[in-house]
Structure 1
């Protein structure tokens, strides 16, 4: 939970310090006022990048050398002070509790964040890499924020691919990298499966509660098929030597959302996909809560593409997790919030990049 957020040189926002409430925090104002920029600042502090764009330079105020975001975060057992500075050449300085942080994972570990945005539909119909991020968010936090397995796996795959590109004749030279990939990859695979197993019944329940009208199921694919990963890597060496790339492994993991055995992205309407994607994101939030993780939820542009009758069902599912919520919208009255949910809310008005309590 974020108690204090300080933002400097993020898009068109003026430098500001915000004291946030433990439950619901709202930023309201016209389109283009700078509301989403607040959520982008939180995203940068947690993950090192904006959820809107991967180009850090695009988020920095146009005439400034870099952006800075600082936050006081309260955890289960203690509080932390987080800070990130990002320059125009993507140079970075990370601080955690007054000391230089070794990597972004140190900040992500103490500030887990999830998002509901107008682009959430990409989760089901988008590329496998989007769904891997979904899995790896859960795997990372379920493991207690152990990033070393992910970085070691990525390094081993990059090194193996470099060897394959050299056009080797003796495929046995791949053995050391195969052993490393199998060692790290099968641990990550277990974490991913554990998290998705927790998500699965929650997703099925939320599809029903959001009145989708029919059941959906989740089918996990580990990226190499049945059997041990090491055997799959060894078996595919000749094919990968021709392709000059590693074709099987956890870097190919994915999961499918199915309706009666058919891919949901092929048979659901746009409106049904919207509901299914919301159910999937909300099940991720609920699963995190069940696993003892307390993420901050960033809910951008509430009501932009959701029916007035539908939004309260989404809010009900959100507040059941007792998560801190940071939400943006045009007007409080158009966000589908009842008076009981607004009772303890912190509300801010945003106009031309200036944020003021309302």
Structure 2
């Protein structure tokens, strides 16, 4: 599965662009501010209907325009188009038919992003790591998304009752019953996923860097020695004072530690980047092995903070994946030995928002 051609209109400073892409590797290079990251952002918008840079759509849509449109022809899924207005309205079309929700779109094209925000997997809050974990669970277990929606609804209603100050026992029991059943199923899906993912992660990590003490610890969001219904009963008075539910899968975490310390407090910036890359690559490799589904990768400024030896190791791992890769860099030279099969690579020079296929124009630097 890969994007053969893409058309981009109305995205930030990019000139209206139509590109013919490599099914394997596409590298966008140029000076900072030229528009390289906006190209990755456009592909992210196509696959996720949202930007990875800002949630405010107005800043994504080009100045003085009212909407953006990104359309593509994919070798497997066909025609895909996403239109977003400056006011945030979304229209998604697949082979000419409107898609009802984002979940179907996200499922069509599994996508991974490695950029400066990826360090949040180590440095950020539990929600950053839950998002990473649930990417894998979502693609592995079809029932997960519906359970997550039900959990959010029951949690919202339970919290509303807690804040109201009028605890109706019968209403509370209705929402807690739903909340408890969804919580258990979500926890089981996460545990089953990690059982397969963690060995894959350690195998990938070992191919990149020697960190034998690094481990992943799963916290399900409540005391593992007690059933959740007992905890909710015990914490209800405290929950009412706080106005929210303290325990449950919405509080889960996937803690990454070196020995007894958080990895972010021990590892160098370069080591952290390699761990993040190992997490993302392993997650995609595991999906590929389990379901034969390739992942689209977006890599923003990968050479930064890495030496040539580790860049080459990353290249070897990336080539083990069957998905399509989009990379940005200022100088393409460090990536010259990244791929063993250079014929699979297409280079694009980005300057002042214009994108030039260097193979066609012959101006590769």
TM-score bin (small chain): over 0.9
Shift of 1:350: 1.3
SS of 2:309's equivalent?
Answer: coil
Q: Structure 2 vs 1, CA of residues 141 and 210 (structure 1 numbering), >3 Å: closer, same or farther?
A: same
User: Is residue 2:191 matched to residue 1:193?
Assistant: yes
SS of 1:310's equivalent?
Answer: helix
Residue aligning to 1:295: 295
Tell me, which stretches of 5 or more residues in structure 1 are unaligned? Answer: none
Task: Report the aligned-residue RMSD.
Answer: 2.0
Of 162-171 and 252-261, more deviation after overlay is shown by 162-171
Query: Are the equivalent residues in 1 in contact too, given 2:46–2:71 (CA < 8 A)?
Result: yes
Shift of 1:114: 0.1
Residue aligning to 1:122: 120
Q: Structure 2 vs 1, CA of residues 338 and 307 (structure 1 numbering), >3 Å: closer, same or farther?
A: closer
Q: How many residues align?
A: 355
Residue aligning to 1:280: 279
Residue aligning to 1:215: 213
Tell me, which stretches of 5 or more residues in structure 2 are unaligned? Answer: 359-365
TM-score w.r.t. length of structure 1: 0.92
Of 179-188 and 29-38, more deviation after overlay is shown by 179-188
SS of 1:119's equivalent?
Answer: helix
Residue aligning to 2:37: 36
Of 102-111 and 326-335, more deviation after overlay is shown by 326-335
Query: Are the equivalent residues in 1 in contact too, given 2:295–2:322 (CA < 8 A)?
Result: no
Query: Are the equivalent residues in 1 in contact too, given 2:311–2:338 (CA < 8 A)?
Result: no
> Partners of 2:124 and 2:90 in 1: how far apart?
30
Of 39-48 and 334-343, more deviation after overlay is shown by 334-343
SS of 2:63's equivalent?
Answer: coil
> Partners of 1:339 and 1:210 in 2: how far apart?
16
* Superimposed CA distance per residue, residues 269-323 of structure 1 (whole angstroms, 9 cap, x where no aligned partner): 3333232222222222222222223110111112122222211111111111222
Shift of 1:336: 4.8
Query: Are the equivalent residues in 2 in contact too, given 1:233–1:248 (CA < 8 A)?
Result: yes
* Superimposed CA distance per residue, residues 229-263 of structure 1 (whole angstroms, 9 cap, x where no aligned partner): 34433332222112111111111111111222332
TM-score w.r.t. length of structure 2: 0.91
User: Is residue 2:148 matched to residue 1:150?
Assistant: yes
